[in-house]
Structures are given as structure tokens and as C-alpha cells.
Structure 1
Amino acid sequence: MTNRLAIILGLLILGAVALDYAMYGSEHFIFLGRKMFVLMDWLAFWR
């Protein structure tokens, strides 16, 4: 992965989080954090 691609993906993720916060507030960030942790654990298994 090139630096340019990493920066673009990072900005997309930050933009999605900002949009989510603006539209729905911060009530479900804990749920999304837990799901992200499960996803990382699953990806680590397949590595």
C-alpha cells in the first residue's frame, strides 16, 4: 500500500466517522468499536 492510498483511505474513514457523528450522534460508537474489534480479531485469525 502506498502512502497516498493510505492517506486517502484514512481520510475516507475519518469522513465516514464524522458524518456518522453528525447524523446520529455518539450513542452507538461503543457498538461500532466492539464490532471493529471483532473484525480485527477475525482478520488476525486469517493472517
Structure 2
Amino acid sequence: MTDRIALVLGLLIVALAALDVLANGGGILLFIAKKIADLTEYLAFWR
């Protein structure tokens, strides 16, 4: 991955997070955080 692609992806993620906070009060970010926490617990079980 080149630096340019990484920069574009990083800016895209930050822009989408800011848009979510402005439009939905951060509801989607909270949902994604909960799902990632569930996934890590599930993966830790299989370890």
C-alpha cells in the first residue's frame, strides 16, 4: 500500500466518522464499536 492510498483511506474514515457524528450523533460509530468488541470476545474464545 502506497502512502497516497493510506492517506486517502485514513481521510475517508475520518470524514465518514465526522459525518456520522454530525448526522446521527455517533450512533453508527457506537454500533461498530460494540460489534468489534463482540468479535474480539468471540475470537478470544476460540484461542
TM-score, length of structure 1 as denominator length: 0.63
Aligned residues: 39
- Give the Cα separation in 2 of the matches to 1:29 and 1:4: 25
Larger radius of gyration: 2
For structure 1, the residue ranges without an aligned partner over 5 or more in a row are 43-47
> Is the helix fraction higher in 1 or 2?
2
Identity, in percent, stands at 38
For CA contacts below 8 A with separation 6 or more, give which structure has more relative contact order.
2
- Provide runs of 4+ in structure 1 moved above 6 Å: none
- Measured on the aligned residues, the alpha-carbon RMSD in Å equals 2.2
TM-score, length of structure 2 as denominator length: 0.63
